[in-house]
Structure 1
Amino acid sequence: MTFTVVGRCPRTKMLGVAMATHAPAVGNRCPVVVPRMGAASVQAIADPRLWLLCQKLVAQGWHAGKIIADLQASDPNAGLRQIGVVDAWGHAAAFTGSENGEHASHIVGEGWLVMGNGVVGPQVIEAMADSMRSTGDEVLEERLVRAVQAGGAAGGQADGHFSSGLWVYGDEPFAYIDLRVDLHDEPIGELRRVFEWFRPLLPYYAERPYNPRLPRDDHWRAQQAAG
């Protein structure tokens, strides 16, 4: 019961995932991002063992299609799953099991994929794909948030959504962005609100590991505002 976008920026090579779902704390179960290697989501009936295998295969640098095939072959309950992978080269592949219900599908594009299950209809996934096609000039994190917003605006989850998240990695082994809305009546709007608040701090937290003498984040923000 989740709708998700997975993508890679062809300019920066950043990788990321954004999603929204009915269940709380979705970030604990579904998204996979391995810096420089690939991004994915293992969803529908999430299984932490399958998540771990997906992460391992992505980290080994396998082609997206090969990862999907191996995950399907290793899972006796593959019909209940929905999985999407974008690899280090921008190849995208996805699988929607036949037991996911009537409104479950995916669309694969150049360096991205969108997928959803338990949504109100195919218009949700189509709206997300249209968003990804029309935002190629934007930075990856903006594209991902817009795609989830488009899915929500098209109706989103049939029984509502209460959690969301955004994960983006660059060359570093730690996240460039890791934002989670674990339980909220409007998780997509809240994700956008938190993202806009956090966005000015992106260069701060990118520099801070290498410059621990930077001022505290609120002081740094005030300095930037003052010019």
Structure 2
Amino acid sequence: MTFSVCVRAETPEGPAFGVGVATDAPAVGALAPYVSHRGAVSTQSFVNVRLGRRGIALLDDIGVEDALPGLLARDEDSDLRQLHGVDADGGAFAFTGDGCEEWSGDLVRRDAGVTAAGNMLANGETLDAAADAFLDGAEAASNDPVPDADLVPRLLDALDAGRDGGGDKRGHSSAAVAVKAPKTTAYHDLRVDEHGDPLAELRRVYEAAEAASGEFTEEKKSRIFD
């Protein structure tokens, strides 16, 4: 019932990480996406939030290609899980259990710093469309390397493209983006918990938060945000 992308992008001040996710269930932002200064992880399908919480914590010490398989090996219901992510050292990993409902699958574009996964999708084109849209968004960024602030609209574009490519075959009712960058802002953790058009509403929330963030001085930001 879910599709998501986990991404890594280099910025002038260091790597930024993000997750974009949409599903036909309420409050996906409270369950699926996890980000830190060391990586990004999404846990979904028959979701186990411990995989996300523990997975992102482990990235402080080991790579995603060791952390996530190790957690799945100790999960008796791993055949029902989807788990994927990227890390700060160039690693990328994705897993789809055999018990996930069709269409289900994942993709890894290690060199590009992108993974994607989905279940109960209309088709597999959803994941390619989402990944391609995120990567294509780098061309529209204001400089190269990509500035961290551009990750959020690129994730929103990825979610829109995934939906247009097929998306959740039952539709969508919640969506979220989460970003961890060298400089965190007011619009790096946004979610729509239940809405008839959650992706459009999430973009509206982003635009409102981005506009409001202009009122914060750099000194205030340093006191408010991680």
- Length-normalised TM-score, structure 1: 0.84
User: Quick check: 11-20 or 157-166, which moved more?
Assistant: 11-20
Asked whether the 8 Å contact 1:10–1:111 carries over to 2, the reply is no
Equivalence map 1:1-227=2 (5 Å): 1-11=1-11, 12-34=14-36, 36-60=37-61, 62-109=62-109, 110-137=112-139, 138=141, 139-171=150-182, 177-205=188-216, 207=218, 208-210=220-222
Amino acid at match of 1:57: L
Which secondary structure state, in structure 2, belongs to the residue aligned with residue 79 of structure 1? helix
Question: Hey, what's the Cα distance between the residues in 1 that align with 2:41 and 2:75?
Answer: 17
Identity of matched residues, %: 35
For the structure 1 residues 100 and 196, does the alpha-carbon distance in structure 2 shift closer, same or farther, using more than 3 Å as the test? same
Structure having the higher Rg: 1
C-alpha deviation, 1:203, in angstroms? 4.9
Runs of at least 5 residues in structure 2 that lack an aligned partner in the other structure: 142-149
- Cα separation, partners in 2 of 1:172 and 1:59, compared to 1, 3 Å: farther
Sort the Cα spacing of 1:20 and 1:46 in 2 relative to 1 into closer, same or farther, 3 A. Answer: same
Distance in 2 between residues matched to 1:203 and 1:14, nearest whole Å: 20
Aligned length: 210
> Does the CA contact (< 8 Å) of 2:185 and 2:221 recur in 1?
no
CA contact (8 A) 1:40 1:83 kept: yes
Q: Which has the higher mean CA deviation after the structures are superposed, 167-176 or 17-26?
A: 167-176
Residue 70 of structure 1 deviates from its aligned partner by 0.7
Once the two structures are TM-superposed, the CA of residue 172 in structure 1 deviates from its matched residue by: 5.6
8 A Cα contact 1:10 1:90, kept in partner: no
- Structure 1 residue 193: Cα displacement: 1.4
For normalisation by structure 2, the TM-score amounts to 0.85
Cα distance, 1:161 vs structure 2: 0.9
CA distance in 1, matches of 2:76, 2:44: 15
RMSD, aligned CA: 2.1
SS at the partner of 1:13? strand
The one-letter code matched in structure 2 to 1:29 is L
The answer (yes or no) to whether the contact 1:115–1:125 under 8 Å persists in 2 is yes
